[in-house]
């Protein structure tokens, strides 16, 4: 169990640096007032990262699963960035 925990922490550590590189590149290419379409939003994990790293105009978030959508709504309810449009649409296979 401890082994899995350590591996997960290592992956998250390296993933952080890879994400930072990607976000820096996107900031250079996209400019300001970005509109994000988050398809497969799950519980809103990427929404938090987008808000933290970009100057956003709006986020359109899509999640097909009703169960995940309820969690998404809960997780974004107290978000400081208020221009998020949540959509419970899509197809689950």
Task: Provide the pLDDT confidence category of residue 7 given band limits of 50, 70 and 90.
Answer: low
| Per-residue pLDDT at 1 | 58
| Per-residue pLDDT at 83 | 94
Taking the C-alpha atoms of residue 4 and residue 50, their distance in angstroms, rounded to an integer, is 28
Write down the CATH superfamily of domain 32-93: Vaccinia Virus protein VP39 (3.40.50.150)
3-class secondary-structure state, position 86: strand
Taking the C-alpha atoms of residue 66 and residue 44, their distance in angstroms, rounded to an integer, is 14
Taking the C-alpha atoms of residue 77 and residue 91, their distance in angstroms, rounded to an integer, is 24
Alpha helices in 31-84 (DSSP H): 45-53, 66-76
User: What pTM did the predictor assign?
Assistant: 0.75
* Interval 32-63: pLDDT, tens: 788 999 999 999 998 998 898 888 999 999 99
């Amino acid at each position: 169990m401890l082994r899995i925990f350590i591996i997960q922490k290592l992956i998250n550590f390296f993933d952080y640096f890879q994400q930072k590189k990607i976000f820096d590149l996107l900031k250079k290419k996209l400019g300001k007032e970005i509109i994000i379409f988050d398809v497969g939003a799950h519980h809103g994990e990427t929404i938090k990262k987008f808000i933290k790293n970009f100057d956003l105009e709006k986020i359109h978030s899509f999640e097909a699963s009703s169960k995940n959508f309820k969690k998404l709504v809960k997780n974004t309810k107290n978000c400081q960035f208020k221009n998020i449009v949540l959509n419970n649409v899509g197809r689950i296979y």
